[in-house]
Homo-oligomer: A and B are copies of this chain.
Amino acid sequence: MSVKYVYRFSDGSGSMKDLLGGKGANLAEMTNLGLPVPRGFTVTTEACARYYGDGERIAPEIEAEVLRGLEWLERETGKRFGGEDTPLLVSVRSGARASMPGMMDTILNLGLNIGATETMARRSGNERWAWDCYRRFIQMYSDVVCEIDKKLFERHIDDMKALRGVTQDVELSAADLRELSERFRAVYHEKTGTDFPDDPREQLIGAVKAVFRSWNNERAIVYRRMNDIPGSWGTAVNVQEMVFGNLGETSGTGVAFTRNPATGEKKIFGEFLMNAQGEDVVAGIRTPQSIDMLREVMPQAYDEFTRICATLEAHYRDMQDMEFTIEDRKLFMLQTRNGKRTGTAAVKIACDLVDEGALSESQAVMMLDAKSLDELLHPQFEPAARKRAAVIGRALAASPGAASGRVAFTAEDAKHRAARGERVILVRLETSPEDIEGMAAAQGILTVRGGMTSHAAVVARGMGKCCVAGCGGIVMREDAREFELSGKTYTENDWISLDGSTGEIFAGEIATTDATLSADFARVMSWADKYRTLNVRTNADTPRDAARAREFGAEGIGLCRTEHMFFEEDRIPAIREMICADTQEERERALAKLEPMQQSDFEGIYEAMDGLPVTIRFLDPPLHEFVPTEERDIEQLSRDIGKSVADIKAIISALREANPMMGHRGCRLAVTYPEIAEMQTRAVIKAAIAFSKKHPGREIVPEIMIPLVGEPRELRYVKKIVTDTADAIIADSGMQLKYKVGTMIEIPRACLTADEIARDAEFFSFGTNDLTQMTFGFSRDDAGKFLDAYYKKKLLESDPFERLDRDGVGKLVETAVKLGRSARPDLKIGICGEHGGDPSSVEFCHMVGLDYVSCSPFRVPIARLAAAQAAIASRTDI
């Protein structure tokens, strides 16, 4: 059976998006609804895939099928392609499964040549219009099909206007435009070495090919990566009879939404231009009028349009984004699609549609884009102010939100200036744990190096603070306290602004609006909680973060990183003393100083979580992260602990590692220094006993998590240290206290030996940051150097540190779940890597049967929604 590559609009339907693309499917659907749609047909996405499969050529049978479609269109319209009688003109537009606005190409007025233009001029009595159509067609075709620089044509228009002494295109005469068409054809000949095609069929095939090709232009690739659209989908091509909004004052064209896409208000929202073609609305040469004015200008058309809006909303049960054209008072619908909207509008529309009875709650949950919640939770730039600002760079959108401030080059500087009331943006090559206070004081963080799981990105997300990471274009001159970007130099006196949701960097200050959580938001979240089966926990290291995460709906802590507590000013001396210890006794003495502080940290967190589960990860980072780097700090440490500066430097140098990510860290520290694990166990257990005493009758079950286990015996060894220590304390206390010991699964070998590990682990938590690093062999701090090339060359479609890689990392996760549960059927399994807050990754976690996801506080609502969507998608009963 041969594949069908061309569908008439009347043969398709709205459910055929995969094959016809969104635009084609909706044109078919509107046609079937009896709405006024110009006739046409769609070349399928499969034809596009075939085009690439065949080495970027259109197979003869596809070409033949397109031309048969055209013959049918000629019969239907009674016009002839290139005909001298009534010429058929068509538009050729791309349309992928997912909306990719502006990413690919469109050609209007296709089918014209000199003869057809003359005919059209004669028959319409509008000679100027006819030649304007032709010269526009030559421009678009040359640009889209042959990639000839648009400027070459614009220069001729400017010359012509100068010659005629006019300033506006519309002041040029029919003869001028005919003359321009001749000059454009000459440009085309000069650049391609061939004549501009007069055969409309040749034009059409060239245009189809160009649309296919535009699927892989650079901006489309970037857009797909940002929006998780697979490159394999391909685009469809819609070929449609032209209608003209530029036939005179009874014609026009416009775009509109059935509701307000910024606020969600239920009122048609849009704009139109009389006597114009689609591109004029976008080009901004004339100022369009509000759609409300159409009621005055052309009441009949307006009434028909509002009826169509109602029909489409009722049909699609969602807010629609439409394009229309009025040709001599007759309304034509050129496109409809579910409209893009702000997070605020999305939530309001979802609630309104439920209240209107158009959607069930679960349908309302499904219609929301989980990622779009980010803008409800973080400050955003005022749209108008943002539009005026100059973009000076673009990097990874590492932590959402918007911020402006003056540049600060060190964390210390940021802290001091913020204390004086100044707003600063911290700009660093990369951040390290020493910078945390400065990061907290800054409005936003910009780094030169590092990816989506770099220190800066992870910490900023935890703080809910805007961060743009990995801007390799910055030339940093820290000594001079300045940096260069896009050819300009910025100093401490300069304001910059960051959009952490898009990764854009702006010069100057931009006004922001605060985040406000509406009642609608709470309603949507309550629906989500009804449907999801995954629990949602948070990654929080402090009582403050824990409290905030609970406000966002976290049901426990999935990852409390104990080391973050060590960096605070009153603790770091003790941890440094511990690191510099020569003997176990010295080490234990230093650890004894840390213990009460750790215990009080844990008490605070237990209080904040009020009995909800708390998973505490034992010391994980390599010790060198804690040692001082500045001469001054080394001298201070020397005085503090009574060791010589030379000795301390020798210790620091001995801690240096070639690849610290795969070095002496995680449970390897507990193996070499069991006393660290003993101290941490004491702090965890004593804090739980204190909590129990304070709140009699309230149960608390601390979960101790051993990081970086790769071999079952490692866990067994450390677990024994933990249980020996804990059991003794509990016995001494005379209280009943349960606790659990589990492990991070973050080393590939742990996944492969998960059955053995599960014999000792009471829970697993996937540390997919490290697991991704080691499965790919990508250092999260260094991969930025080559990942851009990987995206450009289509070797990777998304950042594996942002979106869990199902083909590789996912296979290891599945293996570990299967092996782990084979040994311990009731094994509780979660994820606490950064993927826990990414919707696609949450869906994967649901599919492989995890019990919970854990993410930074500000991503908890996103995870709740994504978990509900995954649950609903996999149910057959609702």
Which residues of A line the B interface, CB within 8 A?
657-664, 668, 671-672, 708, 710-711, 713-714, 717, 746-749, 752-753, 770, 773-779, 781-783, 785-786, 789-790, 793-796, 805, 807-809, 811-812
Tell me which residues across on chain B come within 8 A of A746, comparing CB atoms. Answer: 777
Select one of B659, B661, B710, B713 contacting A808, CB under 8 A. Answer: B710
- Whether A775 and B749, one on each chain, are in contact in the complex, defined by CB atoms closer than 8 angstroms, is yes
CB pair B752–A808 under 8 Å, yes or no, is yes
The listed residue (B662, B711, B776) touching A795 by CB distance below 8 A is B711
Q: Are A785 and B658 in contact (CB under 8 A)?
A: no
Closest to A789 in B: B672
Assembly CA distance A68 to B663 (angstroms): 53
Chain B residues near A708 (CB, 8 Å)? Answer: 777
Q: Are A781 and B657 in contact (CB under 8 A)?
A: yes
Given contacts A671-B790, A749-B809, 17 further A-B contacts (CB under 8 A): A658-B781, A659-B660, A659-B662, A659-B782, A661-B777, A662-B782, A663-B782, A663-B783, A664-B782, A672-B786, A708-B777, A710-B777, A710-B808, A752-B808, A752-B811, A753-B808, A774-B775
A812 and B752 contacting across the interface, CB-CB below 8 Å:
yes
Closest to A809 in B: B749
- Chain B's nearest CB lies how many Å from the CB of A110? 34
Bound-state CA distance A60–B242 (Å) is 97
Chain B residues whose C-beta falls within 8 Å of the C-beta of A777 in the assembled complex: 661-662, 708, 710, 746-749, 770, 774
A773 CA / B805 CA spacing, docked (Å) = 20
Docked Cα-Cα span, A641 to B746, in Å, equals: 45
Q: Of B672, B710, B808, which is within 8 A of A776 by CB?
A: B710
CB–CB B789/A671 < 8 A: yes
Q: How many copies does the complex hold?
A: 2
Instruction: Give the residue of B662, B773, B779, B793 whose beta carbon is less than 8 angstroms from that of A778.
Output: B662
Kindly list chain B residues whose C-beta atoms are within 8 Å of the C-beta of A805. 749
Indicate if the CB atoms of A779 and B662 lie closer than 8 Å.
yes
CA of A713 to CA of B796 in the docked complex: distance in angstroms? Answer: 8
Residue of B nearest to A749 (CB): B808
Shortest distance from the beta carbon of A678 to any chain B beta carbon, whole Å: 15
CA of A661 to CA of B776, assembled, Å: 12
Known A749-B775, A753-B807; judge A659-B713 contact (CB<8 A): no
Q: List 19 A-B contacts (CB under 8 A).
A: A657-B779, A657-B781, A658-B661, A658-B779, A658-B782, A659-B781, A660-B782, A662-B776, A671-B789, A671-B793, A671-B795, A710-B776, A711-B776, A711-B795, A714-B790, A717-B795, A747-B776, A748-B808, A753-B807
Q: Are A782 and B657 in contact (CB under 8 A)?
A: yes
Q: In the complex, what residue of chain B is closest to A662 when comparing beta carbons?
A: B779
Give Cα A779–Cα B747 distance, bound, in whole angstroms.
13
A775-B789 CB under 8 A given contacts A713-B794, A796-B711, A807-B753: no
Bound-state Cα–Cα, A661 to B663, Å: 12
Are B795 and A714 within 8 A (Cβ)?
Answer: yes
Contact across chains for B795 and A775 when beta carbons are under 8 A apart: no
A807 nearest CB neighbor, chain B only: B753
The smallest C-beta distance from A783 to any residue of chain B, in angstroms, reads 7
Kindly name the residue among A748, A793, A807 whose own CB sees the greatest number of chain B CB atoms within 10 A: A748
Contact partners of A811 in chain B: CB under 8 A: 752
Q: Chain B residues with Cβ under 8 A from A710's Cβ?
A: 775-778, 808
Complex-state Cα separation, A782 to B623, whole angstroms: 13
Q: Contact at A748–B770, with CB atoms within 8 Å?
A: no
CB proximity of A857 to chain B, nearest CB, Å: 27
In the complex, what distance in Å separates the CA atom of A753 from the CA atom of B795? 14
